[in-house]
Amino acid sequence: MKKLVLASKSPRRKEILSRENFVFTVEESLFEESSKNLSPIDVAVFNAKGKASEVYNRLNDKNIVVLGADTVVFINGELLGKPKNESDAFNMLKKLSNCVHEVVTGYAVASESGVETGFVKTEVFFNELTDKKILEYIKTGSPMDKAGAYGIQDNFGLVKKIHGSYDNVVGLPIEEIRVALLGALKN
């Protein structure tokens, strides 16, 4: 069986893979993410494929399978990446307050037989957030390394409900990725 490499420094992706009993190592990708003139789905898949391919090619080992992923938050035609600072995080959370947005995670599984890609989309319904609640959340530091400036897993009362995969909103839709991953690891 081949060895799995996660092309991500995300602690949430590591947690999900560990929870699902995957044995893996981590190799952060040097790929430069881009979102130029692409749809949210295309951005997520492009970046996931770039991350997985960069690590696979750099490690140059036919006995590995590399998993790359990229999660984006999309609202009213705007992509929300990771906030640059606390002010940016505040503005993002204000936009999401009492609104519905989409979270798209693109994934790529790179192996000797090529790169298999896909994506998962989840609708997220936010509660109405007061300025005070937003500032309290920002003080935790949690929003600063997450697309859209929030983590659904933070249990801070931000999210009212979702339609779709919870793990997708966290950053790795393992149910949808599992088949591609297991297939690549066995070949």
- By annotation, the residues acting in catalysis are 70
Token digits for 181? 């991953």
In angstroms, the CA 6 to CA 132 distance is: 37
> Reduced to 3 states, what is the DSSP secondary structure of residue 29?
coil
Dump the DSSP string for 86-142. Answer: HHHHHHHHHHHTT-EEEEEEEEEEEETTEEEEEEEEEEEEEPP--HHHHHHHHHTSG
In angstroms, the CA 160 to CA 38 distance is: 29
Do the Cβ atoms of 13 and 181 come closer than 8 Å?
no
Phi and psi at 124, nearest 5°, equal -120, 130
Radius of gyration of the chain (CA): 17
